[in-house]
Amino acid sequence: MRSNVLRHHLLTALLLGPATAWLVVFLVLPFVAIAVFSVGERAPEGGYQAAFTLAQYANLPARATAFWNTMVLAPAGALACLLVAYPVAYFLALRAPERWRLILLALVVIPFWTSLLMRTYAWMYVLGGRGIPALLATIGFDDVRLINTPGAVLLGIVYGYLPLMILPIYVSLERLDRRLLEASADLGATPLSTFLGVTLRLSLPGVMTGFSLVMILLLGEYLIPTLLGGGKVFFIGNALVDLFLQSRNWPFGSAIAITLVLVSVVVLIAANRISTRLSGARRVDLI
């Protein structure tokens, strides 16, 4: 009996061991280090110097623009993604012929297999001076600026993160019991009421998963604002790179990173709460 229990515990430890070790070394320890850095001071020659001060946090408003850009463009980007993704997911799950479904789904995912960097560079050229603005100039619209604007960043975000939004929504719509839609129609609901009262409500867990997934990734986004936003649209991610690598102000960078993590956690919890309440689901698989 006892040895059985012992073996059971040993097996559990063996199974969980590698993942735990990985997380401790590469997530928990760095996180502790960052937390410690964030209450420290910048050494005169750059880097970190032990201290206990909340001065770094008090200094957060100095990067208000980066925070503001992130806090506006991350939810806006996630929302834009959602508005584009929902009809696509709806079509794939409920309207597309069965035999085409997998092929169409693959078409959504395949671009994801090439590097985001390459695809974003492509957008740089498309939106840049010799791209769409040049075309517009030939029909008389001169001096249209697309690249290095918030709009370009938003476009890049929607383009880059669309599959991450489509897939969870697709899954929740695919799982939807079609007879519920028939029951709704049978009870006198017009197609619009059925969509709002049943389809949308029951796909909310997928919507919330997609939304929080995209939102959290956007909070740390670095590449798209750099390439499509130029120096003008600065995200927290860019601020972090700048602080750690250029001005070597590690404590301040750490304070920003910690704040970012806290914001992400709040977003996750809120999304989870909302979708659980609205869909009446007992369990929400988040990500």
Chain residues that interact with other proteins, rule: CB under 8 A: 177, 179-180, 182-190, 193, 197-198, 201-202, 278-282
Under DSSP, is residue 244 helix (H, G, I), strand (E, B) or coil? helix
Query: Measured from the CB of residue 62, what is the shortest distance to other proteins in angstroms?
Result: 46
Q: Looking at beta carbons only, is 145 or 182 nearer to other proteins?
A: 182
Contacts 24+ apart (CB under 8 A), 242-250: 247/46, 248/42, 248/46, 248/47, 249/42, 249/46, 250/37, 250/40, 250/42, 250/46, 250/47, 250/48
Q: Looking at beta carbons only, is 17 or 280 nearer to other proteins?
A: 280
Distance CA 223, CA 227 (A): 6
Query: Measured from the CB of residue 173, what is the shortest distance to other proteins in angstroms?
Result: 14
Of 272, 235, 287, 232, give the one whose Cα is nearest residue 257. 235
Q: Looking at beta carbons only, is 185 or 223 nearer to other proteins?
A: 185
Q: Looking at beta carbons only, is 189 or 223 nearer to other proteins?
A: 189
Under DSSP, is residue 41 helix (H, G, I), strand (E, B) or coil? strand
Q: Looking at beta carbons only, is 198 or 218 nearer to other proteins?
A: 198
Query: Measured from the CB of residue 57, what is the shortest distance to other proteins in angstroms?
Result: 42
Q: Looking at beta carbons only, is 110 or 183 nearer to other proteins?
A: 183
Query: Measured from the CB of residue 268, what is the shortest distance to other proteins in angstroms?
Result: 22
Q: Which amino acid, one-letter code, is at 91?
A: F
Distance CA 8, CA 212 (A): 36
Element holding 49 (H helix, E strand): strand 48-49
Asked if residue 96 lies in contact with residue 124, where contact means CB atoms within 8 angstroms, the answer is no
Number of neighbours of residue 106 by Cβ within 10 angstroms: 9
